[in-house]
Amino acid sequence: MALKPSLPVEILDQIFYFLRDDIPALRASADVDQRFSEIIEKHLYYHITLGDSEITAPQLSELLVASPHIIPYIKSLRINISSRRNFSWFFNHSFREEEQLAPIFPQLLHLTILSVHAAIESRVIWTNLHVNFRASFLACIRSSTLADLSIAWLASFPLPLLEESPQLQRLSLVGRFSTDELSSIKGVVTTYPHLQDLKIEYSPELFEWLERTEITQLRSFRIWLTRYSTTDRIPEILSKSSNSLTHLQLHSPSRGPINSTFINSDQVQPAASPLDFSVFPHLQHLYFGVEFFSSTDFGVDGDGQQAFIVDAFSTPNPWIFQSLQTLFKLKTIPLQFIILDITLSVAKIDLHKISWGPLVDTIQGLNSLRRVELRLTEGEGYPVDRGMWAAERLKSDIHLSKLIDTGLLSITGSTRKSA
C-alpha cells in the first residue's frame, strides 16, 4: 500500500527512521513517490559501510562529489578490514584507490559514529596502515561531532591518541593496544566528562590506560574477561564513576573459576575473590555471560593395572552468588534486573550436578529485584537443542522453581548463533 502524500513530513520521517537498517525497503519506498526521496535520502545515507559491502571507498568519494547535499546525512561510518588482498587501499602500496580514501574523512563533517574493525585473522597493525589514512582517521576522532567510537583488532593502536577525544560519549575497544606514548608526568590523567558507555575486552594495556583516565559520568560498562581474577581491578578502574554506574555487563572466561571432581555441594569456594558490587550504590542492571563446563577423562594408574575415571566440572555459581552478597552491605539495594546468560557445555547426565540453592537464596534476599532471566545456549560441539532441553529441565529444579512461582524468574533456551 502506497504512503499517502498528505501525511505530515514528521510522520513520514519517523516511519523511514525505523527502516534505516532495511536499505531495499527504503529504496523501494523512494520509488513509490518522488516526493518521498528527499525525506528518505537522509535515512538511506545515515550509515555507510566500507569493506564487505556493495560500496567501495572510490565509489563513496565519487558519490560525495556528485551529490554533496548528502554529506550532512552521513552520521555513521564503519570500515571493515579483512585482508590485504581485498583492502589494499589501506596499506602502504601504490594503488590508485588509496588516494581517494584520505579525502573522505575531512568531508564527513557531521559524522557522530565511527567504527574500524579488522578481522582477527588479518592481524592488521596500526603502523602498517597508509600514513594518509592514519592522519585522516586521527583528525576524525578529534572532531567535536564524533560521539561514538569503536576500534577492534587494530593491533598496536596507541591509546594515548584518544586523549584528544574528550567529547566521546560511547567507546568500544577490543584487541591489543599500545600505551607507549602515555604521559610520563606523574599524576597526569585524561578526563572524559561525557563518556557514558564503555565496552572493552580485557588486556593489560587497556587497564593501564584506564588507570590514567578520569571517567566521572559512566553509566554502562561492558567487559570481556580473560580470567576471573581480573575482576578485582574493576572497582579500582571505575572508582570515579561509582556513583553514576547503573549497568554492568561481565562476560566471563570460557571456563569458570571452579574445577573440581565433586561440585554438587553448597560449600565449594570460588577460586577468584568475589567482585564487590557494594561500591556501585546505583547499580540497577547486572549481566553475567558465563559458561558451565563438564568433562570426563579416563586413565590408568602408575602400574598400568587399574583404570580410573576423573570427572571435572566447572561452574561460576559460587563466584556469582558471593559477589551478589556484597550488595547486602548497602543500606538500600538498587539492583532491579539480573541476566544470567549461560553457555552450557555440559553432558545431560551432569546437569543435576549444578547447585542452584545458594544462588536462589541470595536472589530471594535482594528485595529490590524486579526480574531475573536465565538464558541457556548450547556450548560449541554440543547438540543444537541442548540449551532448550536444559531450560525445560531446570524449570522443575527444586530451587529455581521457587523463583518461577513468584514470577521473578524466567528460564529460556536458545540455539547458538552461527558465526
Tens-digit pLDDT profile for residues 376-402: 999 888 888 889 999 999 999 999 999
pLDDT of 17 strictly over 50: yes
Q: Which of 171-180, 284-293, 338-347, 359-368 is most confident? A: 359-368
Tens-digit pLDDT profile for residues 45-61: 888 888 777 778 888 88
Q: What is the mean pLDDT of residues 121-141?
A: 85
Residue reference for cell 583492502 = 87
Q: Which three cell numbers stand for residue 171?
A: 567507546
Tens-digit pLDDT profile for residues 188-235: 567 888 899 999 998 888 988 888 888 889 999 999 987 766 777 888
Instruction: Give residue 247's identity as a one-letter amino acid code.
Output: H
Q: How far apart are CA 218 and CA 238, in angstroms?
A: 8
Tens-digit pLDDT profile for residues 275-303: 899 999 999 999 999 888 876 655 555 56
pLDDT of 413 strictly over 90: yes
- Please state the length of the chain: 419
pLDDT of 149 strictly over 70: yes
**Which residues, including other chains, have CB under 8 Å from residue 327's CB and lie 6 or more apart?**
277, 278, 333, 335, 366
Q: How confident is the model at residue 245 (pLDDT cuts 50, 70, 90)?
A: very high
Element housing 296 (H / E): strand 285-300
What is the per-residue pLDDT for 257? Answer: 46
What is the per-residue pLDDT for 345? Answer: 87
pLDDT of 145 strictly over 60: yes
Average pLDDT across the chain, whole number: 81
Q: How confident is the model at residue 415 (pLDDT cuts 50, 70, 90)?
A: confident
Rg (C-alpha) for the chain, rounded Å, is: 26
Query: pLDDT higher for 160 or 114?
Result: 114
Q: How far apart are CA 179 and CA 190, in angstroms?
A: 13
Nearest to 232 by CA among 126, 150, 323: 323
What is the per-residue pLDDT for 297? Answer: 57
Q: What is the mean pLDDT of residues 136-160?
A: 92
CB 391 within 8 A of CB 411: yes
Q: Is 122 helix (H, G, I), strand (E, B) or coil?
A: helix
What is the per-residue pLDDT for 258? Answer: 41
- Report the predicted TM-score, pTM, of the whole model to 2 decimal places: 0.83
Q: How far apart are CA 234 and CA 410, in angstroms?
A: 29
The fraction of the chain above a pLDDT of 70, given in percent, is: 80
pLDDT of 185 strictly over 50: no
Domain boundaries, the chain: 7-40, 252-263+276-414
Q: How confident is the model at residue 5 (pLDDT cuts 50, 70, 90)?
A: low
Query: pLDDT higher for 47 or 5?
Result: 47
Instruction: Give residue 188's identity as a one-letter amino acid code.
Output: V
Tens-digit pLDDT profile for residues 90-119: 444 444 444 556 778 888 989 999 999 988
CB 395 within 8 A of CB 360: no
Burial of 54 (0-12, 13-18, 19+ CB in 10 A): exposed
Angle between the N-to-C axes of helices 357-365 and 317-324, in degrees from 0 to 180, rounded to the nearest 10: 20
Q: How many CB atoms lie within 10 A of CB 137?
A: 21
